[in-house]
Amino acid sequence: MRRFTLLLDDGGNEPRRIEFSGHEPREAFELLRRERVARKATLWESEQKLGTIVRTGSDFWEISA
């Protein structure tokens, strides 16, 4: 299993951190689906930034590297 970290920006001072194990980075979307407040998330694997995910609508996310 690989270790990932999601940093969720919900407009507060510090991003909220969610660490999880998974086989693929796409497993982060299951966690994001449950997040109603977060508008932006950064996905990391160890020290490597995999990308930024921005909520563009109620069920739509835009991914950038």
pLDDT digits (tens, 9 = 90+) for 10-59: 777 888 899 999 999 999 988 888 877 667 899 999 999 999 998 887 66
The confidence score (pLDDT) of residue 38 equals 65
Length of the chain counted residue by residue: 65
The confidence score (pLDDT) of residue 37 equals 66
Higher pLDDT, 8 or 11: 8
Domains in the chain, number = 1
How distant, in Å, are the alpha carbons of 3, 32, 41 from that of 37?
A: 24, 10, 11
The confidence score (pLDDT) of residue 51 equals 95
Q: Are 3 and 45 in contact (CB under 8 A)?
A: yes
Print the domain residue range for 45.
Answer: 2-64
The confidence score (pLDDT) of residue 12 equals 75
| Closest residue by Cα to residue 37 from 64, 23, 18 | 18
